[in-house]
Structure formats: structure tokens, C-alpha cells
Amino acid sequence: MTAAEDQQARRAVEAVWRIESPRLVAGLTRLVHDIGVAEELAQDALVAALEQWPHEGVPRNPGAWLMTTAKRRGIDLVRRNEAFARKLRLLGHELEIAQGAAVFEQPADTGEAIEDDLLRLVFVACHPVLSREARLALTLRLLGGLTTDEIARAFLVAEPTVAQRIVRAKRTLAKEKVPFEVPYGAELAERLASVLEVVYLIFNEGYSATAGDDWMRPALCEDALRLARVLQGLLPAEPEVHGLAALLEVQASRSAARTAPDGTPVTLLEQDRRRWDRLLIHRGFAALARADAAARARGTDPGPYALQAAIAACHAQAVRAEDTDWARIADLYRALGAAAPSPVVELNRAVAVGMADGPAAGLALADAVAADGALDDYHLLPSVRGDLLARLGRTSAARAEFARAAALTRNSAERALLLRRAATLPSGEE
């Protein structure tokens, strides 16, 4: 095998792992009832793939190959690793261990079983024995397949902090013997907010990758969409479940238009809206209608996800960018800020106000967000300020803001876009 062929095979392993690792860990957790052990088995399968695929070729069904290999490694560990055997006593005595070995040898799980396992894994990772931060970090690591660095960027915290949260979360789940199941009744309601937030963050990481060379990671968007749809079926009376699904459907509809043929990012106002997926938009509108109906049935106002979905719907209803109802969007952001206060929401409201009432009004709001200091390391703050300053003709200040935003982002495609925007500004002073 040539060096080029070896490198190609290794890239294939990495790509498959990125897609399959959440399903792999979820399926193995169902069998061994220990997330840490499941991850170890999954990593063993990855090592085997790195050793074998460059020489033997990528198998026809790489996900099934990884699962089968991981299960066989589990049997080997049962036979020779006393510590692992103690873990397996959770499954019972000798007869049950033998039955477990038979399960290890079964063909690959069906898509439906995988979907169920992924959902169970989300609820386990969102168990109330964990802190909110630990729940989010652990689920993004397991189901999103994100590195600790990527999660740290999503949370705007230090990478060692995220790593410690994940390690402690696994230990806590093992110590408390949290069952691998979807909860019911009051316990389900208690965990639902965290589950929705996790699905939302997974989608966001796929929609706008925090790091790397790619502007998007479509596999994460697909995972989040699938989980949101499963939650809709599981909890049809929950307004925010439908609100989240509506938001993700409409946002995902833009995916094909968000990059140019050469892979460079295309901003919302510059996108070819004929490329937006009308089927996903239709699904999103239907989910938003169900969210509104469920909220009315409960006598409650729209929740944060339903409000964000309504904002996305405003964009989807505009045939051309100039037809966008920015005043309505600004009002929706004001309502969202009241329901879920956040400096990021206020920054988005500044954008909408800047489009509805002019860049000076938007810049005043953006400056107020900047003065708070909470978003000092958030690259979209200087990006928004740069755009507003450019529209005001303050090109020198705008250029500096775009350069600062480029220095803060970890995504190379976004960095190139920001630097290009800085470079194409008129050279004249304001």
C-alpha cells in the first residue's frame, strides 16, 4: 500500500468515527451499563480500524464493523479482566453473562434500536445527579462526538474545565448506578430542559462549527434533527419540544445555501433562497403550529425555542432578503430576551434593530452588550460591530473589528470570511 492510500484509509477511519462514535457508545452502554467502559470498548474498535482498514480496505458497513469489533473486545475483557467482570455483575450471574455474550455476537443493531439508544444516552447524560454544565459537556462529548476543545468553545470556558467535568460526570453516573433508560413522569419533566438544550447545542455545533476547516458539520445537524423528531413522538404535549424541532427544521433548510461551491461561507443576506429546502421549511412551520397549539392548551406563552423558531420562520417567509420583516424579528428578540435573558440574545437583537431602525440604533445596543464584558472573547461581537460600523461609513473602525473577530474565531472558513470582509472595505476614512 502506498503512503497516499494509507493516508486515504486513515481519513476514512476518522470520518466514519466522527459519524458512528455516538451510536457506537450508545449501543455499547445499553449492553454494559457503564458509559466509561462503553467508551473504552469504542476506542478499542477505533484502534483496530486504524490498524486494519489501511491494509484490508474500508468495510461495506463500517459502523457495523466497529460495533461488532467493540462487542468482541468486550467478550475478551470479560474473560481476562477482573475489573471489567465486576462491571458485568450488574447484568447478573453466569447465565446472564452467557446471554450477554450472545448479544455481543448478534448482527448490527437496526436503525430504530440505534435511535432509541441515542435517546436513552441523552437522558442518562442529563441525569439530575450531574450539574447542568456537566450534563451538557458529557452529552456533547458522547453524542456530538465533540472534542473537549470544541465543547470549551461552545461554553466559552477553559478546556481543562470541560475535561474535568466530563471525567467527574462519568464517575458520578457509575457510582450512582444510573439506569440506561428514558425516565417517565415527573423525572422526565425534570430532565427535559437539559435534554432540549443539549440537542440545541449539538445542532449549533453542526450548523456553525466552532473549530476546524469546515464551516458546517452536517452529521451533527442530522443527529440533532433526528433526536428532536424522536422527542416530538415521545412528548407530543410539550410545547418546547415542538418549538425546538421547528427551529432546527427551518435552520437546517438553509444548509445547502450556506456555502459556495468552493466551500466558503455565504452569509444569510447573500444566500440564494431558491436553494433553501422547502420540505424542511414546511416541516418547521408544522412543528411551530403544534408548539403554539400545545402552549395554548396549557395557557402558557411561547417558550424560548418557539420564539427562536418564529424568528427563523420570518426569514423563511421572505422570498428575498430585502423582504425580511426586521421589525417583527426585533420584537421577537425582545420577547426572547424577557423569557431567556442572555447577552447573545441582546447581540442578535442589535442586529435586527440595526436592520429595522438603522445601523446607529443597532450599534448602540451592540455597544451596550460590549460594555457588559460577558462576550469579550466571543468573535461574533466584533463581527456584528464591524458590520454596523461599515454601514455607518466608519471603515477604519470596522476593519479593526473584523480583524479582531477573525483572531477570536477557531474556524478557518469563518476566519477567511472575516478577513475578506475587512480587506474589501473601502480604503477611504469615515
| pLDDT over threshold 50, residue 135 | yes
Q: What is the pLDDT of residue 333?
A: 98
pLDDT tens-digit profile of 25-64? 888 888 777 888 888 898 888 888 888 888 888 888 888 8
Quote the DSSP letter at residue 226: H
Query: In the predicted model, what is the mean pLDDT of the chain?
Result: 85
**Domain assignment present for 31:** yes
Burial of 400 (0-12, 13-18, 19+ CB in 10 A): middle
Query: Is there a domain that residue 68 lies in?
Result: yes
Most confident of 153-162, 187-196, 389-398: 389-398
pLDDT mean over 310-329: 97
Q: Domain range spanning residue 54?
A: 1-109
Residue among 352, 355, 358, 347 nearest 405 (CA): 347
What is the rounded average pLDDT of the residues 283-291? 98
Dihedrals φ, ψ of 139, to 5°? Answer: -70, -40
Return the higher-pLDDT residue of 77 and 334.
334
Q: In this structure, is residue 229 part of a structural domain?
A: no
Give the Cα separation of 313 and 276 in Å (integer).
12
Phi, psi of 34 (to 5 degrees): -150, 115
Q: Give the separation between CA 315 and CA 269, rounded to whole angstroms.
A: 10
What are 138-190's pLDDT values in tens digits? 987 887 677 888 788 766 678 999 999 999 999 999 899 888 888 877 777 77
| 229-241 residue pLDDT tens | 988 987 899 999 9
**411 beta partners:** 212
Is the pLDDT confidence value at 293 over 90?
A: yes
Residue 125 corresponds to which cell in the numbers above? 447524560
Considering the domain boundaries, does residue 3 fall inside one?
A: yes
User: What was the pLDDT predicted at 11?
Assistant: 79
For residues 370-378, give the mean pLDDT. Answer: 94
Whether 89 is in a domain gets the answer yes
Q: Which residues contact 129 (CB under 8 A, 6 or more apart)?
A: 172, 173, 176, 178
CB-side exposure of 281: number of CA atoms within 13 Å?
18
How does residue 95 score in pLDDT terms, banded at 50, 70 and 90? Answer: very low
Whether residue 426 lies inside any domain: the answer is: no
- pTM comes to 0.73
Domain count of the fold of the chain: 1
| pLDDT for residue 115 | 58
Q: Which grid cell sits at 337?
A: 430576551
Residue 17, in any domain of the structure: yes
Average pLDDT of the residues in 87-102: 47
Domain assignment of residue 338, yes or no: no
